[in-house]
Structure 1
Amino acid sequence: MSVRATLSRLRRGEAPGAEALAAFAEGLAEGTVSDAQAGAFAMGVCHTSLGSSGRAALTRAMRDGGEVLHWDLPGPVVDKHSTGGVGDCVSLVLAPALAACGAYVPMISGRGLGHTGGTLDKLAAIPGFRTEMQADELQSIVGRVGCAIVGATADIAPADRRLYAVRDVTGTVESLDLIVASILAKKLAEGPEALVLDVKTGSGAFMADETAARALAAALVETGQANGVMTSAILTDMSQPAATSAGNALEVIAAMEALTEPDGRAALRLVALTKALGGELLALGGLAVDAEDGAERIGRALGSGAAAETFGRMVQAQGGPGDFPDRWRDRLPAAPVVAELRADRPGVVARIDTRALGEAVVELGGGRLREDDRIDPTVGISHLVSLGMVVGEGQPLARVHAADGPSAERAAAQVAGAIRFTPGPVTPPALIQETLR
């Protein structure tokens, strides 16, 4: 079927078949489909759902239009994907923890855009750390270390790169079908045996609405499984940051605290999330009896220091300092101004506008609104209070890390406005809300 015929079917409200979707994805990858046609396709899919079989076909075609990795390793190849949030540095803890348990993790990640942070931006705060490499080097590092975290090359799902850019300027980013195909085309190109999706809901999530997040999770699981990968999704809470910090170097610090002091208060949510996601992956990959057993194994890898040691070997293999696990506090850059925000009255933390916190980090220079924005790795928020915490007048609520005094003052006002108090007790939402398999 021609591109024009495919677009005509969508205009009439008819979902294209698998062959038509494959041909369209091939045209995107090869450049024979124009930007105008890509935009018309994206708008058409927004109005006419592809359905479960169409989503699976489009995802498969977008994956197969580029390089697909193949592995010959003595353990399962697994990965996770998060739909994005604030203070979400779990990948930095999860990848080495999984590797320490015998899994292999070729994690292809992205950069942040808008209020959510990106894994590659966090790792860029580590001096010398390289995230750009070709497939053969990625496979070599994963084979030797057990994990690597890199960016996608131009050869991975090129159709998605074309379509994503068009979606951004045509107001079609929120199409369920296109979100699923975009996420999974890149993840399935890694060649994993098992995949877990961390689908977030709450004030800091990409999809704050719980019903929409659950629909996305179900579609991701169905599409992954239809393409031959053991897939599950976990709905997790993003009504407060995953870590007590937000900002690139600050989140590396949070990850290192989780790797080296997993029982500390600052690491509680991060470690709990790591254990839930890692436990599910170990079970899917056959390295644990079930998710509960897998979570216990992840906990032992953190508590023994094996995960921290693996993270250090990954950092060194990807160009970072060889002594990073021992001297990470000295190796990370710091902001010149640190201002402490204190409570002006006593109360219990009842609500945190997590999106507003992410936007404050962006305004400090720690995120980007456009792809070409430069990032200051040192700025952000740390030592943030959590939901349900009892705070006395004058007690710290957070620390703001900034390039200068005026920036710190503006960010402190934003952070203060994002935190709401109540006189009575508060029960925070459960971090792990539901698992879809």
Structure 2
Amino acid sequence: KLESIPNMKIGLTIDEFINQVNKIGLSIIGQTQDLVPADKKLYALRDVTGTVESIPLIASSIMSKKLATGADAILLDVKWGSGAFFKTVDGAKELAKTMVKLGNNLNKSTKAMITDMDNPLGKAIGNILEVKEAIETLKGNGPDDLVELCVNAAAIMLTQSNIASTIEEGKAMALNSIKDGSAFNKFRLMVEAQAGDVSYIDDLNRFPVAKNIIPVTSEQEGYISHIDALTLGVEAMHLGAGRKTKDDVIDYTAGITLEVKPLDKVNKGDVLAYLHTNIDDYQDIINKVRKAFTFSKRQVEKSPIIHEIIE
């Protein structure tokens, strides 16, 4: 998704990655040929041997990358729900415990958050749309669930690094970094260090937008009880935000933005979401996105974003 920022380079070498972290304290990179090259071959073997879902192999694949970069403290976000690999909390916990054990056995401070992806996180689905939402979050304008997850994750990492003595102290530090602008400034510095065009970070209106922005309206009234994350992810792909085949070209402007979240009261005719796309045949997608929203007569109990911390 960061590649939707013009010129942004995520294919750093290990040395470039380490040097940047030492220089500015932050870097985000993707998989490279130099980073655990055996993992790619092992994944190909898993694919043809029907072991893609093997938890020990998933754990070793994920943790090999974290350990290869030399991290002393590792925090993992293991998601469960309709929009995640694991559909149940139990599956996510099993993977988390395996990865935490691997890290701790190698004397690395390793923890994992079990987090909810049964409903979409935040309000944006898509490349540019999610980048813009992340920037707005760093500026203090993010959706509540995304802010909650990020602040808690930051707090845990601050305690792992012995910078904060308690989670509450860590949360206060994280929230203050948003309030005083230092969180946004650090992200901007990272984008600049990785050759990204920071003029897009400074002015989000510079990002291109899709030709068609289509409202999906409600045909009923009530309280939103659930939004199916998997359905929205699949339909965002059909709008152009993801690949159906490896040869497809991603449309960075495509995706879905939500106007409502679980617990919200909705009246008939209210906008549930907007589709962002450059395709013109979208009526079927409108219908499928509308069906992703489940209604109830009464407001349901709020589901926690973070279900458990494994350590």
Question: Is the shorter-chain TM-score for this pair beyond 0.5, marking a shared fold?
Answer: yes
| Structure 1 counterpart of 2:35 | 156
Matches within 5 A, 1:279-428: 279-330=155-206, 332-407=207-282, 409-428=283-302
| Structure 2 counterpart of 1:213 | 92
For 1:168, give the aligned amino acid.
D
Is residue 315–residue 324 contact of structure 1 (8 Å, CA) maintained in 2?
no
SS of the equivalent of 1:323 reads: helix
Q: Give TM-score, length-normalised by structure 2.
A: 0.96
| 1:144 CA drift (Å) | 2.4
Paired with 2:48 and 2:210, the residues of 1 have a C-alpha distance of 34
Matches within 5 A, 1:235-250: 235-250=114-129
Is residue 14–residue 34 contact of structure 2 (8 Å, CA) maintained in 1?
no
Paired with 1:296 and 1:369, the residues of 2 have a C-alpha distance of 42
- Following TM superposition, the consecutive aligned residue runs of length 4 or more in structure 1 with deviations greater than 6 angstroms are none
User: Residue 270 in 1 paired to residue 133 in 2?
Assistant: no
| 1:371 CA drift (Å) | 3.9
Matches within 5 A, 1:8-407: 122-260=1-139, 262=140, 264=141, 266-330=142-206, 332-407=207-282
CA RMSD of aligned residues (A): 1.4
Is residue 338–residue 400 contact of structure 1 (8 Å, CA) maintained in 2?
yes
Are residues 160 and 384 of structure 1, via their aligned partners in 2, closer, same or farther at CA, if it must alter by over 3 Å? farther
Is residue 253–residue 329 contact of structure 1 (8 Å, CA) maintained in 2?
no
Paired with 2:236 and 2:201, the residues of 1 have a C-alpha distance of 26
For 2:104, give the aligned amino acid.
Q
Structure 2: gaps spanning 5 or more residues: none
Paired with 2:126 and 2:39, the residues of 1 have a C-alpha distance of 28
Structure showing greater Rg: 1
CA deviation map 1:330-372 (0-9, x unaligned):
1x22111000111112111112111111111111121124444
For 1:223, give the aligned amino acid.
L
For 2:6, give the aligned amino acid.
P
Is residue 178–residue 184 contact of structure 2 (8 Å, CA) maintained in 1?
yes
| 1:431 CA drift (Å) | 0.7
CA deviation map 1:249-292 (0-9, x unaligned):
000111011011x2x4x521111111111111110111110222
Paired with 2:196 and 2:175, the residues of 1 have a C-alpha distance of 26
Is residue 259–residue 307 contact of structure 1 (8 Å, CA) maintained in 2?
yes
Paired with 2:26 and 2:48, the residues of 1 have a C-alpha distance of 35
Q: Give TM-score, length-normalised by structure 1.
A: 0.69
Identity %: 36
